[in-house]
Amino acid sequence: MEERGNISIHTENIFPIIKKFLYSDHEIFLRELVSNAVDATQKVKRLAAVGEYKGDLGELKVKVAVNKDERTITISDNGIGMTAEEIKKYINQIAFSGASEFVERFKDASGDKDQIIGQFGLGFYSAFMVADRVDIVTKSYQEGAEPARWTCDGSTEFSITDAQKEERGTDVILHIAPDSDEFLETARVRNILDKYCKFLPVPVEFEGEVINNPNPIWTKQPADLTDEDYKNFYKELYPFSEPPLFWIHLNVDYPFNLTGILYFPKIKNDFEIQRNKIQLYSRQVFITDEVKDVVPEFLMLLHGIIDSPDIPLNVSRSFLQADSSVKKINTYITKKVADKLNDIFKKDRETFEKNWNDINVFVKYGMLSDDKFYEKAKDFLLLQNTEGKYYTIEEYKALVQANQTNKSEQLVLLYTTDADKQHAFIEAAQSRSYDVLKLDSVIDSHFIGMLEQKLEKTTLKRVDSETIDKLVERDEAKESVLNDKEKEDLKTAYEQAINNQNMHVEVAPLSPDDAPVVITLPEFMRRMKDMSRTGGGGMMFMGDMPDTYNVTVNANHPLNQRVLNTNGDDQSAVARQAFDLALLSQNMLSGAALTTFVKRSFELMTKE
């Protein structure tokens, strides 16, 4: 038998167009052909299961072989095979019409062209991206079927002839084109197989070795798996990472089909947050590690695998975002993650607290970016105070309510971003039995703003943003031992001694036990500057402004009596000394200022 024919498609010579389109992603031909081979073996298995195929199934597998001398790559399977008629139907019509449809749809697309490439399975036709001739030698599973050979050089002409083939199945032989020599290198082929075929459900053999794990754990039932299984799989995926904190096994059939495992990685530091660590599969075929539109943004910090045949891969990004199953998948994953965290929190709070440092960024990020997640997470979000104790929001409110409600009925939550630097202020707060929270991760400046918005009648203040009396303002007015004239003199004395426009001096009656001079950076100013630094809120110009501090001089401190009672240089030296000590307690004194301070200290000590 020899038959020649023309493949009826609308566009003549689609090959050069496709080749151009898929320029950067030629390697996917192997994914497509190996997937077809896997499909063929699964089909014959199904036929056997329903009694349609009565022969011996044998050991179902796919083989990939490179012959450098003959310049071929052969993909063989012992699957369902094809008759000559089926070749005409499936290859000539379906495969080629799929390819021409692709060209029709995307030849004018400009913007998102690159994004669809690599995700769009061109199927069998993708072979012509690397081959200038393709042969198919195949024998159908059907009893008495004659083997057939199909040959085509990528043009619209093909030929079908008789062939020799004993075993059921299909060999696809690619005659590699001169510009695709790289695919004749076994290392390159192994690499591609490793990337796309690692978890295909049927053994794939290359150079005498099975290169895949056909039964990855996400396809199994959670009840059949141990913690070790999950940890080992993580190691298989990310050989160089530290063990994960915990994981979630995703498994849903309706209204969409999705399986997978998401891991919470151990984050070493805030700067090492890694994205693109979730791999997207479709029926165990690797598709991409760009899951941006499938997984909510904040969950991109997780690692692992999602396998869903319901994610449309042949559409553009913007379409994907609007796709209803993608939206449902998003919601489902968010809910599962929140439920899992809640579960650990409820069942094992100790573990939850132990891991809080690693997961807090991720939980806060989620709360900031997704209202639904916020609603769930607000019950297990933990706040840590300077003593290292953890509280939920409700627990914390109950703890501080009595002592930290101000005269306008606002609950004031105090926090520190650096317990070491702000030690003097923390100590002052503790002396009033105030509690201080530690909010020191990169995300906390945004998180603080969100808490204020969500929690009613609640303000957050950094512990060094005001003098202790003003942090939680009460009605009781403090008596000052100085009269107005003395206060004015004291203010002038300090202003002259400090001599810096960015230091706003003010005299206030604090307790005699409080420090004589306190330097604070107002909460509002600091937040504006933080925002401009992180690029939000249109406050860019503020980033360049110098910090403006409030210098509060304690009218009731005995040292300030002494400042008032001295004159000239002596007065200036004592005031400056008190101011420098305030700077020093906040780690703000350095360089020449520090040297001057040390010299002055010795002089003052010598004088006494």
Ligand X SMILES: Nc1ncnc2c1ncn2[C@@H]1O[C@H](COP(=O)(O)OP(=O)(O)OP(=O)(O)O)[C@@H](O)[C@H]1O
Q: Which residues bind ligand X (CB under 6 A)?
A: 32, 36-37, 40, 77, 79-80, 82, 90-91, 94-95, 98, 121, 123-125, 170
What are the C-alpha distances in Å from 58 to residues 41, 43, 489?
Answer: 11, 14, 101
Cα 424 to Cα 583: distance, rounded to the nearest angstrom = 11
Write down the least CB distance from residue 453 to ligand X, Å: 47
Write down the least CB distance from residue 50 to ligand X, Å: 18
Phi/psi of residue 68, nearest 5 degrees: -65, -40
Write down the least CB distance from residue 285 to ligand X, Å: 9
Write down the least CB distance from residue 332 to ligand X, Å: 24
> Which residue from 242, 165, 266, 211 is spatially nearest to 65, judged by alpha carbons?
211
Which residue number, 77 or 444, has a Cβ lying nearer to ligand X? 77
Which residues does 483 contact at the CB level (< 8 Å), separation at least 6? none
In terms of phi and psi (left: phi > 0; alpha: psi -120 to 50; beta: otherwise), the region of 143 is beta
Which residues does 438 contact at the CB level (< 8 Å), separation at least 6? 384, 385, 386, 415, 416, 419
Task: Give DSSP secondary structure letters for 170-208.
Answer: EEEEEEE-GGGGGGG-HHHHHHHHHHHSTT-SS-EEETT
Strand partners, 157: 6
Write down the least CB distance from residue 254 to ligand X, Å: 23
Write down the least CB distance from residue 171 to ligand X, Å: 9
Q: ∠ CA(249), CA(251), CA(256), 5° rounding?
A: 145
In the chain, the N- to C-terminal Cα span, in Å, equals 118
Write down the least CB distance from residue 121 to ligand X, Å: 4
Q: ∠ CA(330), CA(309), CA(112), 5° rounding?
A: 70
Cα 118 to Cα 343: distance, rounded to the nearest angstrom = 38
Which residue number, 95 or 589, has a Cβ lying nearer to ligand X? 95
Q: 3-class DSSP state for residue 556?
A: coil
Write down the least CB distance from residue 42 to ligand X, Å: 11
Which residue number, 91 or 302, has a Cβ lying nearer to ligand X? 91
For 409, half-sphere exposure in the C-beta direction (CA atoms, 13 angstrom radius) is: 2
Which residue number, 62 or 411, has a Cβ lying nearer to ligand X? 62
Which residue number, 102 or 247, has a Cβ lying nearer to ligand X? 102
Which residue number, 23 or 90, has a Cβ lying nearer to ligand X? 90
Write down the least CB distance from residue 454 to ligand X, Å: 46
Which residue number, 91 or 583, has a Cβ lying nearer to ligand X? 91
Length of the chain (residues): 608
Which residues does 39 contact at the CB level (< 8 Å), separation at least 6? 79
Q: Judge if the upstream peptide bond of residue 255 is cis by omega within 30 degrees of 0.
A: yes
Which residues does 326 contact at the CB level (< 8 Å), separation at least 6? 293, 294, 311, 312, 320
Q: Taking CB positions, which residue lies at the least distance from ligand X?
A: 123
Which residue number, 98 or 222, has a Cβ lying nearer to ligand X? 98
Which residue number, 102 or 434, has a Cβ lying nearer to ligand X? 102
Which residue number, 44 or 482, has a Cβ lying nearer to ligand X? 44
Which residue number, 98 or 522, has a Cβ lying nearer to ligand X? 98
Write down the least CB distance from residue 351 to ligand X, Å: 43
Q: Which residue has the tokens 């997937």?
A: 35
Which residue number, 37 or 202, has a Cβ lying nearer to ligand X? 37
Strand runs (DSSP E) across 451-591, as ranges?
Answer: 458-462, 503-508, 517-520, 549-554
Which residue number, 92 or 386, has a Cβ lying nearer to ligand X? 92
Write down the least CB distance from residue 147 to ligand X, Å: 13
Kindly give the pairing relationship between strand 258-264 and strand 209-210: unpaired
Phi/psi of residue 436, nearest 5 degrees: -125, 130
What are the C-alpha distances in Å from 140 to residues 87, 94, 146?
Answer: 10, 18, 7
> Which residue from 530, 337, 507 is spatially nearest to 446, judged by alpha carbons?
530
Which residue number, 100 or 552, has a Cβ lying nearer to ligand X? 100
Write down the least CB distance from residue 197 to ligand X, Å: 14
Q: 3-class DSSP state for residue 223?
A: helix
Write down the least CB distance from residue 367 to ligand X, Å: 39
Write down the least CB distance from residue 36 to ligand X, Å: 3
Sheet holding 517-520, edge to edge: 503-508, 549-554, 517-520
Write down the least CB distance from residue 170 to ligand X, Å: 4
Which residue number, 288 or 355, has a Cβ lying nearer to ligand X? 288
Q: How far is CA 227 from the centre of its chain?
A: 24
Cα 163 to Cα 290: distance, rounded to the nearest angstrom = 43
Q: 3-class DSSP state for residue 154?
A: coil
